[in-house]
Amino acid sequence: MNPVLLLGRRNLASSRLRVGLTGLAVMAGVAFVVASFVLSDGLRATFNQIVEDVSADIDATVRATGDFAEVTFQAQTIDEGVLDIVSAVDSVEEALPALTSSKIVPIDGNGEAIETLGPPILAANQQDSPTSAVMLEEGELPDGPGEFAIDFTSAGTYGFEISQSYDIVGVEGREPFTLVGTTRFGEDNALAGAVLMTFTLDEVQRLDGNDGKINSIDVTAESGVSPDELIADLEAALPAGLEAVGSDVIVDEGQEDFGATVDIFGNVLLAFALVSVFVSTFIIANTFNILLGQRIRQLALIRALGASRRQVLLAALLEAFIVGVIASVIGLAVGVGLAYGLRAIMNSFGFNLPGLELVISARTIMTALAVGIGVSLASALTPSRRAARVPPVAAMREGYRYGSGEGTRRTIIAIILAVPGVTGIAVSLFGSIDSTPLLLLLLGGGAVLVFISVTMFAPLFSTPSARFLGAPLERLPWLGITGHMARENSSSDNKRTARTAAGLMIGLALIAMATVVASSLKDSYRSTLGSTLTADFLISPPNGGTGFSTELVDAVAALPELDPVSSTRLGNIRVNGNEHDVRATDLALLTNLWDLEVISGDPATNAGPDVVSIHESVANDLNLAVGDELDIEFAATGTKTFTVNAIYENAFLISNYLIDKSAWDQNFSLNEDISIVASVAEGVEIEAAASALDELNAAFPQLNFETGAEYSDRLEGQLDSLVIVINVFLGLAILIAFLGIANTMALSVLERTREIGLMRAVGMTRRQTRAMIRWEAAVVSLFGALLGVVVGLVFGWVAVQAIAIDQFAIPVSSLVLYVLVATLAGLIAASFPARRASRLNVLDAIHQL
Amino acid sequence: MAGFAGITTEQDSGPQAAGTMAATATRLTKLYGEGNTQVVALDAVDIGFEAGKLTAIMGPSGSGKSTLLHCVAGLDSVTDGEVRVGDTLISDLSDQELTLLRRDRMGFIFQAFNLVPNLTAEENILLPLLLGGREPDPEWQKRVIDSLGLDERLHHRPDELSGGQQQRVAVARALMSRPAIIYADEPTGNLDTNSGQEVLGFLRRAVDDWGQTVVMVTHDPGAASHADLVVFLRDGQLVGRLEKPTPDLVLDRIRALEA
């Protein structure tokens, strides 16, 4: 047998535990990558199936043509009368109207408007047909006024009981309804956290404020008529502006929509997975280094016996290769399990993901193998080359240590890596790169290079840092000499300290960056809102997107405690062929409630149906000044000419185009507000105004009635939740980092067996031994965590500059907490090696060679 | 301990030597392995180490001399029999109790790897005291360090010391806590002749000047000749003793045993 192969195999066999620990880190990284693939592939397959199921019994759908809707994110409506035209077509067997609204909110048994974590609350008309996707689960389907049904998952989640009365809030306010039954959407009720209520068509139209309107008509053909014939017949009968499409089109569109969402979700997961892989690379490199270092004498011996450098190198790489293969295969299996675990975790957060279809694609398997083997080989390369350089004479000499005298070279490489790394980050953030993949590649690649560079620089200061950080251990009376030993051990090998801390450094850097960016955003948001919102109260829907009745603003304005009062509406316009958001409000009142930082003109000038106020960026792009004319195209009414009456600088929470409500009324068919701003009338206490609003809040419980500060608090709360989710996902990478620390400590216990045996012989107790190992790990963890926070602060600062946040906030208490938790976790991670060290047989340990 | 003193061998089971015993072993038996592969390392050995004397244990490889030392020092468990250090029956102490006993009442000098690499010479010397959280007696510390000629080397790390210096640091460490007994396992095995002589000289002086008790395992007749008493082991049994040894006498006895 080839001696290189033999050696590689024997080495693996003789150090199963060590190799197992190494493989564990690779395995964890592979598993996370696999999980992100399996989860997104599985979700895509499931959603595709759902979309197909829903359209399975429908042959064609009739709907409005065109993609220019007057309001973004809302399906276009058509007249209910079209139903008669469609029904009259000979080849049509059944024509069912469909209308979905997101403005209808149920009030639960506790009198609270229900709120989801983000998925929509939908109300649809209950189609009375076996082809309907919404089927009866229990009770009855709604078939009259005052009746509704809700999907059984939401009924359970929010505690709705059949035949009980619940208030439903529509655009006109709140009124009592009876829950007549629960429903099931498709086979699995796979609503992914959305709430689905059904009513009769009349009730949905009334509650939605859309009398006589529907979104689309689902059509089935007479038997013997092909879908193509049906579509042709329908197209012939339909007036302009309407189209008939086959169910295949609907399925494709639906699958594309879901697919895009799943892709984003999958890519985010994959990004976190790659962070884990990156961290595990550092850990494996470190482990290989130590493993080979412990084998110097063996390496030297086989060199002395005639093995070439190449053979030594190959033997070491072969070992890494085998570890990679085994770890990939196990990682593949664990990853599949992890995918289901992640789904369970996300469902416990309320995401309600549907059952996963198990899809293990060739891509998943190839990626798992590539990542596992690639990471193992790449991280073993440097240590293996170093091993190959061990001179034969080291076999006879005690205390040969390789890798010394490389400090200068390492520093030069670190600098060489840092330059493209920093450049990549700078170009991606401050340059004008349009391609998202390229941008992410530059950003990710830059960050990877910077992390590697920092790790290579770290040995320059790891020893003094660890000595400094470990200094308090000397003062702890209950530790005494043990603390001293922990400090010395943690700082004695600068490279090992740096490498061991590297994984934690990366994890903490990312967490610190996320925290810094989030708190900078929060501070900036709060201060901008404070200076922009001069009104006292803000009334808005929880998720920002769903409108409400324009009657509310009138009711608020009627209160003597509040003055002035205005509302805003959000619509869609085209300028020079490009779609833009437009806000409609009372231009005459606006500057009393909202500080736009007007540069020239005045929004109140000629406030009426033919003026527009624009943000300075629009003025610059289109070269407009106050008094100039601007053509605006509306979905409902076509192109109209407006006069610019003001240019403003501050578009915070406001669109780049502002028109008066009178202009809206002339050009939009939809009539709903998206927010209300109100100031306290002169001489009125703010508390009095707030209690006056309370009554209206009871009638519109789905809306948030808030002061500016309360509004900021709520948005900050949402941002905090996002940071928690990010930290949870980064947590896996950090878990791997701690695995690395435990691993390094285990290896260094092994390395120091004789030393530990000696100390045990001269009187170190088991407890003292454990404390020594644990505190050493704590010092290394503290070093890694602090270094990570420093790098994270720099990254965070750069990110804050790049997204042009005007404040840079350092959340000191959070960062301190992270560092403390990381140190403590390091202490705990070392428990296993510490226990092992304390249980060493003293005699065997002393006599180990 | 009354009624039992001195060294019992097969050849000489007569009246015992006078003096207190620092450590004794009674019917000490140590077996390794099981069944066919079982090895008897110590076979019901009765021995006592007189306080204030330097006792050397000799014997061919595999005779059980190191095992005897380890068992009496509480480093190894015994299969049967009793071991006492002073008044303490150590054969049934827990690991914790044994550790504290080693720390507070014993000193150790090993053949190699005697010092903790990350600690300075001084820290190594004080290690057992510091582990016990005890303050060293400065006067005693100075005397020990001076007599071993280590005062210029105190702040060096072990890898900056010669083999002889390292071994002197180990001797200083063993002496620092004025232990009831010092165990030396081939203390000169890794040293050149001069350094070896030095270390043996220090051990001899510790016994003569400070009344220390030292038990030393060695295979070097020259080293053994520094002892007050040499005992010989073979196949796990005591097979002889020699008082006031000289290198020649030791060598003769070894040849006789090997014959």
User: Measured between CB atoms, does B114 come within 8 Å of chain A?
Assistant: yes
Query: Kind and range of the H or E element at B174?
Result: helix B163-176
Instruction: Assess A492–B contact: CB distance below 8 Å, yes or no.
Output: yes
Minimal Cβ distance to B132: which of A755, A763, A846: A763
Q: A763–B117: do the CB atoms touch at under 8 Å?
A: no
**pLDDT of amino acid B2:** 35
Q: Are residues A642 and A763 in the same domain?
A: no
Asked if residue B16 has pLDDT above 50, the reply is: no
How many other CB atoms are found less than 10 A from the CB of residue A127? 18
**Quick one: pLDDT at residue A396?**
60
Can you spell out the DSSP letters for A381-411? HHHHHHHHT--GGGGTSTT---STT-HHHHH
Residues of chain A neighbouring B159 (CB-CB closer than 8 A): 399
For residue B8, is it within any domain? no
Query: DSSP letters of A63-83?
Result: EE--S--SSTTS---EETTHH
| Residue A835, C-beta contacts closer than 8 angstroms, at least 6 positions apart | A770
Decide if B131 touches A, using CB distance below 8 A.
yes
How many structural domains comprise chain B? Answer: 1
The average pLDDT across B146-162 equals 89
Answer yes or no: is B28 within a domain.
yes
Which of A480, A758, A768 minimises the CB distance to B114?
A758
Most confident of A259-268, A440-449, A587-596, A785-794: A785-794
Helices A831-838/A812-829 angle, 10° precision? 30
Q: How confident is the model at residue A76 (pLDDT cuts 50, 70, 90)?
A: confident
Confidence of residue A848 (pLDDT cuts 50, 70, 90): low
For B86-209, list the strands marked E by DSSP.
88-89, 106-109, 181-185
Cβ atoms of A833 and A771 closer than 8 Å: no
Nearest by CB to A761, from B104, B108, B123: name it.
B108
Please report the residues numbered 709 through 728 in chain A whose beta carbons come closer than 8 angstroms to any beta carbon of chain B.
none
Please list every residue in chain A whose beta carbon sits closer than 8 Å to the beta carbon of residue B123: 481, 484
- Residues A820-842 have a mean pLDDT of 89
Do both A743 and A819 map to the same domain? yes
> Is B101 among the domain residues?
yes
Contact status, residue A652 vs residue A532, Cβ threshold 8 Å: yes
Q: Is residue A539 part of a domain?
A: no
CB A699 within 8 A of CB A535: no
**Looking at the structure, do residues A566 and A710 belong to the same domain, yes or no?**
no
On whether both A71 and A189 belong to a single domain, the answer is: yes
Final residue in a domain of this structure, among A675, A699, A723: A699
Mean pLDDT of A478-492: 84
Count Cβ–Cβ pairs < 8 Å, chain A vs chain B: 72
Q: Does A360 map to a domain?
A: no
Determine whether the interchain pair B75/A492 forms a contact, defined as Cβ–Cβ distance below 8 Å: no
**A842 with B159: Cβ contact below 8 A:** no
A710 and A636 in a common domain: no
* A810 close to B (CB below 8 A): no
Q: Which residue of B has its CA nearest to A758?
A: B114
Residue B181 — very low, low, confident or very high, per pLDDT cuts 50/70/90? very high
Q: How far is A21 from chain B (nearest CA, A)?
A: 27
**Same structural domain for residues A73 and A216?**
yes
Residues A489 and A618 in one domain: no
Give the CATH number for residue B161: 3.40.50.300
| Pairing verdict, β A78-79 and A213-214 | antiparallel
Tell me if B3 is assigned to some domain: no
**Claim to verify: residue A695 and residue A777 sit in the same structural domain:** no
Instruction: Report if residue B7 sits inside a domain.
Output: no
As a 3-state breakdown, chain B gives helix, strand, coil percent values, each rounded to 5, of 35, 25, 40
pLDDT of residue A332: 94
Per-residue confidence band for A398, with pLDDT thresholds at 50, 70 and 90? low
Angle at A558 between CA A556 and CA A561, to 5 degrees: 75
In the prediction, which pLDDT does A746 show?
83
Indicate whether A73 belongs to any domain: yes
Interface test with A, best of B105, B116, B167 (most A CBs within 10 A): B116
Cβ <8 Å between B75 and A763? no
In sign, the C-alpha dihedral spanning A286, A291, A295, A299 is negative
Helix, strand or coil, per DSSP, at residue A567: strand
**Cβ atoms within 10 Å, residue B1:** 11
Asked if ipTM goes beyond 0.85, one says no
Q: Residue A635 falls within a domain, yes or no?
A: yes
**Is residue B213 pLDDT above 90, yes or no?**
yes
The strand order across the sheet containing B229-234 reads B106-109, B181-185, B214-217, B54-58, B229-234, B237-243
Domain boundary among A671, A699, A727: A699
Query: CB A320: neighbour CB atoms within 10 A?
Result: 26
**Which amino acid, residue A281?**
T
Tell me which chain B residues have a C-beta less than 8 angstroms from the C-beta of A758.
110, 113-116
Given a cut of 50, whether residue B10 has pLDDT beyond it is no
pLDDT tier for residue A72 given thresholds of 50, 70 and 90? low
Same domain, A446 and A579: no
Q: Is residue B10 part of a domain?
A: no
CB contact at 8 A, A585 and A567: yes
Q: Is A482 at the interface with chain B, CB within 8 A? A: yes
Both A778 and A687 in one domain: the answer is: no
**Cβ–Cβ gap B102/A763 under 8 Å:** yes
Count of beta carbons in the 10 Å neighbourhood of residue B259: 5
Tokens, residue B6: 């001195």
Q: Where a domain ends, among A699, A725, A753?
A: A699
pLDDT, residue B1, reads 34
Q: Please check whether residues A124 and A254 belong to one and the same domain.
A: yes
Residue A524 within any structural domain of the chain: yes
Nearest to A763 among B100, B119, B123 (CB): B100
pLDDT digits (tens, 9 = 90+) for A540-577: 887 655 778 888 899 999 999 998 999 999 888 999 98
Cβ contact, residue pair B102, A762, below 8 Å: yes
Tell me if chain A has a CB within 8 Å of the CB of B32: no
Q: What is the pLDDT of residues B222-245, one digit of tens each?
A: 899 999 999 999 888 998 888 888
Q: Which domain holds residue B50?
A: 21-258
pLDDT at A400: 59
pLDDT value, residue A736: 84
Q: Which residues of A are less than 8 Å from B173 in CB distance?
A: 762
> Tens digit of pLDDT for each residue in A41-53?
888 888 888 888 8
Determine contact, residues A657/A581, Cβ cutoff 8 Å.
yes
State which residues form the domain around A177: 58-258
SS3 A757: helix
Q: Residue A82 domain-assigned?
A: yes
Which chain A residue is nearest to residue B170, measuring alpha carbons? A762
Parallel, antiparallel or unpaired: strands A105-106 and A165-170: antiparallel
Query: Which is nearest to A343 in space by CA: A119, A192, A156, A184?
Result: A192
Whether A674 and A579 map to the same domain: the answer is: yes
The answer to whether A765 contacts B117, with C-beta atoms less than 8 Å apart, is no
Domain count, chain A: 4
Residue A173 to residue A206: CA distance in whole angstroms: 11
- Which of A55-59, A287-291, B4-8, B129-133 is predicted least confidently? B4-8
On the question of a cis peptide bond just before residue A564, with omega within 30 degrees of 0, the verdict is yes
User: Do the domain assignments include residue B6?
Assistant: no
Q: Is residue B135 part of a domain?
A: yes
> Residue A833, Cβ neighbours under 10 Å: how many?
25
The answer for A294, left when phi > 0, alpha when psi is -120 to 50, beta otherwise, is alpha
- Residue A370's pLDDT band, with cuts at 50, 70 and 90, is very high
The answer to the question of residue A217 being in a domain is yes
